[in-house]
Amino acid sequence: MTLRLGALLLGLLATPLLTVTALADPAPGGHVDRIFVNGRIWTGDDAQPWAEAIAVSGDTLVGVGSSAEIRSMAAPDTAVVDLGGRFVAPGFQDSHIHFPGPSINSVDLSDVVTLAQFQAKLKSFAEAHPDIPWIVGKGWGYSVFPKLIADKKYIDAVVSDRPVYLAARDGHMALANSAAIRVAGVGR
């Protein structure tokens, strides 16, 4: 009986040591700005994949653990958000583009109104990005071209050494130069 009680007490004393999570020092001055409690928080940490509360100081996560542990970090002016069992996950940034989507590696032609501007902007972009194997862009309108007829010759005149694919402003048409047409295997 005594051995059982001793093991039980040892277990009760050891349990808080095992369940207390690592808590970082809050921002300067030790202030926690906001805490989120009573949630299902996925931590992304294999050692502790789930928690029920987090503490934030400025833009820094300073605590992850049980609602009680995190509440103990609150100051009188700390904002407390009750998640009501809702799910929380680390922030994700989905950084991708849709071909030929806008990016720092595409030319924006939405502000050109003449053929000369169209060609100058395309040529300038090509010269500024000599290592891009395909030049892509969008935003041109039919009014840029003589008689409203878009033609690959207007691109070929300024960029002929690599493929160019430019989507129209309305997204219903694209214009490609001769190099792009060759790469695509388009013939007569």
Residue 134 lies in a domain: yes
pLDDT digits (tens, 9 = 90+) for 58-101: 888 899 999 999 999 999 999 999 999 999 987 777 666 555 44
141-182 tens-digit pLDDT:
999 999 999 999 999 999 999 999 999 998 889 999 999 999
Q: 130 and 172: one domain?
A: yes
Range of the domain at 148: 106-184
Asked whether residue 74 falls in the same domain as residue 112, the answer is no
- The DSSP code for 76 is T
Structure confidence at residue 97 (pLDDT): 58
User: Per the domain annotation, does 95 fall within a domain?
Assistant: no
The span from the CA of 6 to the CA of 181, in Å, is: 82
Whether the CA torsion 37, 40, 42, 43 is positive or negative: it is positive
Distance CA 57, CA 63 (A): 9
Cα separation, 116 vs 126, whole angstroms: 15
Which has the closest alpha carbon to 149: 182, 178, 119, 115? 115
pTM of model > 0.75: no
